[in-house]
Amino acid sequence: MPQSVTLKIDQAKKHLSRLKKEVKAFLSRKPFIVVIEEDSSGDLVYRIRIQAPIPVSWSADIGDLLHNLRSALDHLAWELVVANGQQPTRDTSFPISDNEPRFKYNLQRKLNGASAVARTAVENLKPYKGGYDDLWRIHNLNIIDKHRMIVPVGTSYQKIPFQMTWPEKLGRPEVEAPPFTLRPADRHFPLKDGAEIFRVKAAARDSFRRYMKPDFLFGFMIAFGDTTIVDGEDIIGTLQRFISVVQQVVSDVCTQVSLP
């Protein structure tokens, strides 16, 4: 793998490492909590309360990480041309496109001077929307970051772990049922202060109170917000996947063209 490509990917990893630590520390301070209220009908209503805002500074780390990944691919394109004994131009770059016809046009222009083997290796990746979508996402998120911040938001998990215990009764010992999971219709993205996240109807509430002790365990994460590309996806998991994608793409192409 070319040195400049490695440096770019390593820099992306540094940003991710810092984000991981900061996100973990932020969530450990319980910035999102669930409070229980009783409404006029007797229902129990679980509502979100936002205790602390998500740090805006994370947007800069996200943008820098994406830029380094996109740059790593452009550095790869440059090296592919040089490896073929040709001179790169200002148009030389990795041809990620919005669709296949546009990609085929860009392939010739942006990898002009690269060997036929190199162009075929890139073509087989299908780096466009509807092909290798994660490459398209990296490319477009990087463009968005050039014009406005990619603002992370809070969201609740799509599943709610549920633990139920039948209390001791008439000499029968307390029984704890195996945990199971509920899937709410709305996973609440982005989180809004005061939003209803779950409701226990009055009739069900009476049954719970008489026969069992339910325990709802709500989980939260930090997600991409307002990008139309990765809305609601976990930031840490998605960025980790993007790094792996770029590493694999670079490795595969370098192997096919025998680029050290």
The per-residue pLDDT for range 220-252, each reduced to its tens digit, is 899 998 778 998 899 999 999 999 999 999 999
Could you read off the pLDDT of 191-200 as tens digits, one per residue?
899 988 878 8
Cα–Cα distances in Å, from 82 out to 3, 5, 123, 175, 179?
Answer: 14, 14, 19, 70, 58
Tell me whether the omega of the peptide bond preceding residue 190 falls within 30 degrees of 0, making it cis.
Answer: yes
**Residue 108 parent element (H or E):** helix 100-110
pLDDT band for 189, please (50, 70, 90 cuts).
confident
| Averaged pLDDT score across all residues of the chain | 88
Whether residue 91 is predicted with pLDDT greater than 90 in this model: the reply is: yes
How far apart, in whole angstroms, are the C-alpha atoms of residue 221 and residue 235? 8
Distance linking the first and last C-alpha atoms of the chain: 5
- Reported residue count of the chain is 260
How far apart, in whole angstroms, are the C-alpha atoms of residue 16 and residue 62? 8
The pLDDT score that the predictor gives to residue 193 is: 93
Three-state secondary structure call for residue 49: strand
Please state which of the ranges 19-28, 111-120, 121-130, 227-236 shows the lowest mean pLDDT. 227-236
The pLDDT score that the predictor gives to residue 44 is: 86
* Lookup: tokens for 157: 């998990």
Q: What is the largest CA-CA distance in the chain?
A: 87
**Residue 155 parent element (H or E):** strand 152-156
Q: Residue 129 in contact with residue 141, Cβ under 8 Å?
A: no
Domain positions in the chain: 3-152+232-257, 154-192+202-222
Whether residue 188 is predicted with pLDDT greater than 80 in this model: the reply is: no
Cα–Cα distances in Å, from 142 out to 131, 150, 225?
Answer: 18, 9, 15
Is the pTM above the cut of 0.85? Answer: yes
Residue 99: other Cβ atoms inside 10 A: 12
Calculate the CA 158 to chain-centre distance.
14
- Average pLDDT of 76-96? 97
How far apart, in whole angstroms, are the C-alpha atoms of residue 243 and residue 69? 7
pLDDT band for 182, please (50, 70, 90 cuts).
low
Which of 51, 20, 54 is CA-nearest to residue 34? 51
Which of 136, 64, 27, 82 is CA-nearest to residue 257? 82
Residue for token pair 């050290």: 260
Q: Residue 165 in contact with residue 218, Cβ under 8 Å?
A: no
The pLDDT score that the predictor gives to residue 104 is: 96
